[in-house]
């Protein structure tokens, strides 16, 4: 590993290469139609292989989908799923207030999946205004082994973030898409993708060559950090 003196230039110094990649990374939703060269995809996957995991169990399984027809089919099925949910609980349409309590119930039962933000995304997907994988030519699907030690879903996230950062350092664009999970409910995809015990669908990453130059620094909120030192606690931002 590099000596800190070589990559860090004192307090207030410039960002090093890795920091720049991390800060400039944006979710890309506008891709060129050209396919990503295979060697780049292999290089990206290799960084995922070297991610840390609980007990070095490496509980992930990556699937690469580079078949446009298959991606379109998956998009269609996710769109159908979203349309069905929206039929049941679309509280966005004025004059259909009877659906509001259903939406509220869903939000309390599963407040991550039916948080207002994914709910809005589901509406856009069901109306065809938001492509699931945004036209990316390559999709990396991540599954986890349910029997793994510790927290396999977090291990999958670490491996995925390794791949995302590596892809951006190579000038590719990525977007995390967890809307792949509805495919788990369809027997057709369970069979085709091999989603059976002990595997569970975790998430997916759209990968492609971005149109324009979407990577850049943008402002963000700071989060409160509780800082314990010398027997006292302070909050830093």
Please tell me whether residue 76 binds other proteins under the rule CB under 8 A.
no
Sheet arrangement for strand 138-145: 60-65, 138-145, 199-208, 173-177
Please tell me whether residue 221 binds other proteins under the rule CB under 8 A.
yes
Q: Binding segment for other proteins among 45-53, 103-111, 140-148, 164-172 (CB under 8 A)?
A: 103-111
Residue for token pair 């793994």:
148
Distances (CA, A) of 9 to 5, 13, 106, 142: 7, 5, 50, 37
- Of 36, 103, 140, 195, the residue at the interface with other proteins (CB under 8 A) is 103
Q: CB nearer to other proteins: give 22 or 64.
A: 22
Contact 44, 165 (CB under 8 A): no
d(Cα 49, Cα 192) in Å, to the nearest integer? 23
The CB density around residue 86, as the number of other CB atoms within 10 Å, is 20
Please tell me whether residue 211 binds other proteins under the rule CB under 8 A.
yes
What's the chain's length in residues? 237
Please tell me whether residue 112 binds other proteins under the rule CB under 8 A.
no
Q: What are phi and psi of 60, to 5 degrees?
A: -110, 160
Please tell me whether residue 118 binds other proteins under the rule CB under 8 A.
no
Q: Which of 172, 160, 165, 173 shows the shortest CA–CA distance to 201? A: 160
Binding mask 40-59 for other proteins (x = CB under 8 A): --------------------
Total residues contacting other proteins (rule CB under 8 A)? 46
**What residues between 2 and 31 interact with other proteins by CB under 8 A?**
11-15, 19, 23-24, 26-30
- Interface with other proteins (CB under 8 A): 11-15, 19, 23-24, 26-30, 91-92, 94, 97, 100, 103-104, 107, 111, 115-117, 119-121, 124, 129-130, 211-224, 237
């Amino acid at each position: 590993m590099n000596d800190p003196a070589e990559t860090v230039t004192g307090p207030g110094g410039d960002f090093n290469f890795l920091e720049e990649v991390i800060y400039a990374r944006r979710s890309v939703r506008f891709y060129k139609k050209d396919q990503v060269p295979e060697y780049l995809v292999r290089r990206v996957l290799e960084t995922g292989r070297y991610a840390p995991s609980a007990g070095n169990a490496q509980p992930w399984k990556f699937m690469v989908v580079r078949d446009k027809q298959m991606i379109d089919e998956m998009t269609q099925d996710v769109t159908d799923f979203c349309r069905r949910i929206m039929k049941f609980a679309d509280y966005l349409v004025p004059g259909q207030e009877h659906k509001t309590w259903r939406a509220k119930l869903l939000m309390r039962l599963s407040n991550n999946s039916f948080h207002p933000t994914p709910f809005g995304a589901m509406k856009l997907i069901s109306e065809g205004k938001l492509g699931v994988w945004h036209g990316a030519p390559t999709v990396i699907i991540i599954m986890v082994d349910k029997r793994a030690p510790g927290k396999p879903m977090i291990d999958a996230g670490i491996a995925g973030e390794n791949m995302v950062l590596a892809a951006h350092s190579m000038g590719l664009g990525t977007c995390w898409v967890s809307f792949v999970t509805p495919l788990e409910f369809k027997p057709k995809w369970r069979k085709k993708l091999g989603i059976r015990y002990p595997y569970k669908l975790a998430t997916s990453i759209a990968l492609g060559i971005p149109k324009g130059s979407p990577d850049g620094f943008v402002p963000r909120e700071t989060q409160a950090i509780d800082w314990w030192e010398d027997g006292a606690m302070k909050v830093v931002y």
